[in-house]
Amino acid sequence: MEALKYPIGRFEPLPAYSPEMLKGFINDIRYLPQLVEIAVQQLDEYQLQTPYRPEGWTVAQVVHHLADSHMNGYTRMKLALTEDNPLIKPYEEGAWAELPDVKYTPINISITLLHALHTRWVNLMEHLTAAEWERTFIHPVNGTQHHLKTHAANYAWHGKHHLEHILRLKERMDW
């Protein structure tokens, strides 16, 4: 079950990130919308409503979750850039996945949102100074401080993590 839940492994933050690594994270974030769009473009409604694992989200919920989560990630980065070590607001991602907008909104809307959001996010990150990459925010659930470098690494991982959920389901189901 762990391999279905974490197909690329769990996120493991590193103690430091090089400028080259940051460029890689930015590119992961840059290309995620296109990769998600390609991954789901031939799926029918039945396939979109198929969970990627037992007790997991459907493909459609995963796509909407990416938009929801990455909007939060982008906002957290902007808060850290404009406030001193802000306390961010967590959200109940499981509850968000059950809201009516997820049920009634076609996934192409969230894919379009991802394209626009990631363009803005990449344009922001590509122009950060070394000092800005060192800025932080506080996550209230455990009181930990998060650096923007680690935040970018986490969201690069997050996108690949959920893309792999979709790709591996398609492979298992021979779609």
- The model's confidence at residue 147, banded by pLDDT at 50, 70 and 90, is very high
Q: What is the pLDDT of residues 18-44, one digit of tens each?
A: 999 999 999 999 999 999 999 999 999
- The model's confidence at residue 1, banded by pLDDT at 50, 70 and 90, is confident
- Exposure of 84 in the CB half-sphere (CA atoms within 13 A): 0
Q: Mean pLDDT over residues 151-174, rounded?
A: 98
Residue 169 has pLDDT above 90, yes or no: yes
Residue 75 has pLDDT above 90, yes or no: yes
Q: What is the pLDDT of residue 63?
A: 98
E strands within 18-165? 136-139, 144-147
> Where do the domains of the chain lie, and which CATH numbers do they carry?
18-173 (1.20.120.450)
DSSP letter for each residue of 64-83: HHHHHHHHHHHHHHHHHHHS
pTM of the shown model: 0.96
144 bridge partner residues: 139
Residue 98 has pLDDT above 90, yes or no: yes
Q: What is the pLDDT of residue 138?
A: 98
Q: What is the percent of the chain where pLDDT is above 70?
A: 100
Question: Is residue 58 helix, strand or coil?
Answer: strand
CA 44 – CA 170 distance, rounded (Å): 12
Q: What is the pLDDT of residue 118?
A: 98
Q: How far is CA 2 from its chain centroid?
A: 19
Lookup: tokens for 27 = 């590119």
Q: What is the pLDDT of residues 101-132, one digit of tens each?
A: 999 999 999 999 999 999 999 999 999 999 99
CA 37 – CA 103 distance, rounded (Å): 19
Q: What is the pLDDT of residue 84?
A: 97
